[in-house]
Amino acid sequence: MITPGSSDAIRVAVSAVIFSLRSGANGDRLMLPLVRRTRDPYLDAWALPGGWLDPAEDLDAAASRTLAETTALTPSYLEQLYTFGDVDRSPTRVVSIIYWALLRSDLVDAQRSAAGAPENVEWFDVDDLPPLAFDHRRIAEYALWRLRNKVGYSWIGAGLLPDEFTLTELREVYETVLGRRLDPSNFRRLLEGSDELVPTESFRTGKHRPARLFRLAEKA
């Protein structure tokens, strides 16, 4: 039987995996921000943004606070993903509650320039991550797997776009997240069969023929 006191040797941290689309040489890429560690263990290694849970704050609040402190980012949507707590994941016993979020690419730069971009934060392609501290590579890969699963049966990928978007823009997001081409007419059929995406009266005009803009339906 474990007595209550023996749990005191366990510390609780909160970290976040934030996905966004960032423009690169070969078009948009799915990327996430990492923070370079400034102390041991894993001094100078890259790690997920996060920090210690404050005894006086709720888990969601801790996820938002530590994310803002380390990256100056404020995602509109932050969801608890999973809690990692293997005995050997850190030199001391740390249970890490992991959150994940999608951040609209147009907001990333605005937030970073408003807050002054922290110097030790960089964005990395999810398929080309550097060596990570602790078990953070496993955590990042798990979050990516969950994201790819979730876009398979939901329109959550729209969270990476501004409020209004064309069918083509949405399909390209799904292709970037999933890492494969999707059939445009199948995609259009799926979308038209959904009541989660709502057509607006606006159109995107440009060199192609005008394309109707859609938005996510309001949550009930």
Binding site for a copy of itself (CB under 8 A): 1-4, 6-13, 51-59, 69, 80, 82-87, 93, 95, 97, 153
Nearer to a copy of itself, 98 or 158 (CB): 98
- In the bound complex, what is the minimum distance in angstroms from residue 79's beta carbon to a copy of itself? 10
Report the Cα–Cα distance between both ends of the chain, in Å, rounded: 46
Pick 14 or 160: Cβ nearer a copy of itself? 14
165: left (phi over 0), alpha (psi -120 to 50) or beta: beta
Query: Between 42 and 123, whose beta carbon lies closer to a copy of itself?
Result: 42
Phi, psi of 71 (to 5 degrees): -125, -10
Q: How far is the CB of 9 from a copy of itself (least distance, A)?
A: 4
What is the closest distance, in whole angstroms, from the C-beta atom of residue 152 to a copy of itself in the complex?
11
Is the Cβ–Cβ distance between 191 and 145 less than 8 Å? no
Min dist CB 54 to a copy of itself, Å, is 5
The least distance separating a copy of itself from the CB of residue 30, rounded to whole angstroms, comes to: 24
Kindly report the backbone phi and psi dihedral angles of residue 97, in degrees, each rounded to the nearest multiple of 5, phi listed first.
-90, 120
Q: Which of 29, 78, 22 is nearest to 177 (CA)?
A: 29
Rg over alpha carbons for the chain, rounded to the nearest Å, is 19
* Distance separating alpha carbons of residues 90 and 165, to the nearest angstrom: 43
**CB closer to a copy of itself out of 82 and 123:** 82
Residue among 10 and 217 whose Cβ is closer to a copy of itself = 10
Give CA–CA dist 163/106, Å, rounded. 10
3-state secondary structure 26-49: CEEEEEEEEEECCCCCCCCCEECC
Nearer to a copy of itself, 32 or 53 (CB): 53
Q: Residue ranges of the alpha helices (H) in 17-135? A: 59-71, 105-115
Q: In the bound complex, what is the minimum distance in angstroms from residue 150's beta carbon to a copy of itself? A: 12
